[in-house]
Amino acid sequence: MSEIEVDGLRVVFDAPAGPVVAVDGVSERVESGSFVSLVGPSGCGKSTLLAAIAGLQAATEGGVAVGGVPVTGPDRGIGVVFQEDSTLPWRTVTDNVRFALQIAGVSRAEQRTRAREAIELVGLQGFERAYPSTLSGGMRQRVALARTLALRPGVVLMDEPFAALDQQTRIFLGAEVRDIWRRSNQTVLFVTHDISEAILLSQRIWVMSYRPGRIIDVVDVDLPDERDPAVVSTPRFNELHNRVWASLRDESMRGFRQREGAT
Ligand SMILES: Nc1ncnc2c1ncn2[C@@H]1O[C@H](COP(=O)(O)OP(=O)(O)O)[C@@H](O)[C@H]1O
Ligand SMILES: [Mg+2]
């Protein structure tokens, strides 16, 4: 069981202009095996919350537990996929996927089996010997995803993994991430600033406010499990979109004004 429990989490950064409360009073739970998206304006604390769950960022107050065990640092059971292209240019696709397994001390035979499985899962068969520089941005993100999946983590955290990709590639990869999740029993927390993407992919959406970063709304996505992209033209999709946008609109404006230095 890989439930994520966030309890009274607060993360404060010391910045030259004074302390920045990036995450404040967040107490939420991602049920084991479920798919939750986190949306919020740029700079509101999404990455900080994700990093705290991943054990990459210390809490100022409160904490996080995964599967009932407090998170105190990076853990092999918690996989992370970032927005930035994190592939290693001097390694082939297979060797990129094997890299994390090597570090984890997995035997060579097992590395090969798991790499093959993960490459198949993300649809990169035929590209095993390719180098990242010869692949598109979307395919490089598949490599990053395969590398995380090969570790067989119970929890997968994704921080705007498709933000740098074009719209078509995003929709396509999103659908695949959802498929992979449905065939696994992984617990997924997916960060995005794209409301439609959040609705298309997840069972539940957390909406985060700007400074301090709090969860100000939780929206259950009551769309059918079989989620064809055509669902975006249904009335229910629209209602959900309006609901999330209504929660987000004022926050986005507030964030924008603060960043622009206006009042
Ligand atoms: N290491 C850090 N030191 C100081 N401030 C930080 C640090 N990391 C993030 N911040 C600040 O915390 C706030 C939240 O950042 P972040 O979690 O990256 O937001 P998001 O991912 O929602 O865009 C921002 O104001 C950012 O500038
Ligand atoms: Mg971020």
| Per-residue pLDDT tens digits for 141-174 | 999 999 999 999 999 999 999 988 888 888 889 9
Helix axes 108-121 and 137-149, enclosed angle (nearest 10): 130
Q: Cα(241)–Cα(98) distance, rounded to whole angstroms?
A: 39
Looking at the predicted structure, is the pLDDT value of residue 24 above 90?
yes
Q: Which ligand is nearest to the CA of 212?
A: 1
> How many CB atoms are closer than 10 A to CB 135?
18
pTM: 0.94
Residues with CB under 5 A from ligand 2 (ion): 46-47
Q: Which ligand is nearest to the CA of 161?
A: 2
Helix axes 93-103 and 137-149, enclosed angle (nearest 10): 30
Q: Coil, strand or helix: which one is 99?
A: helix
Q: Cβ(76)–Cβ(104) under 8 Å?
A: yes
Q: Which residue's C-alpha comes closest to atom 2 of ligand 1?
A: 13
Q: Which residue's C-alpha comes closest to atom 11 of ligand 1?
A: 22
Q: Which residue's C-alpha comes closest to atom 12 of ligand 1?
A: 22
Site to probe by mutation for ligand 1, drawn from 9, 13, 39 as the one with most ligand atoms within 8 Å of Cβ, is 13
Q: Which residue's C-alpha comes closest to atom 14 of ligand 1?
A: 45
* Token couple for 110: 């097992």
pLDDT digits (tens, 9 = 90+) for 65-91: 999 999 999 998 999 999 887 899 999
What's the mean pLDDT in 42-52?
A: 95
Q: Which amino acid is at 102?
A: Q
- The confidence score (pLDDT) of residue 7 equals 98
Q: How confident is the model at residue 262 (pLDDT cuts 50, 70, 90)?
A: low
Q: Cα(214)–Cα(162) distance, rounded to whole angstroms?
A: 24
- Looking at residue 79, the DSSP 8-state letter turns out to be E
Q: 38 versus 229: which is more confidently predicted?
A: 38
Pocket of ligand 1 (CB under 6 A): 13, 15, 20, 22, 40, 42-48
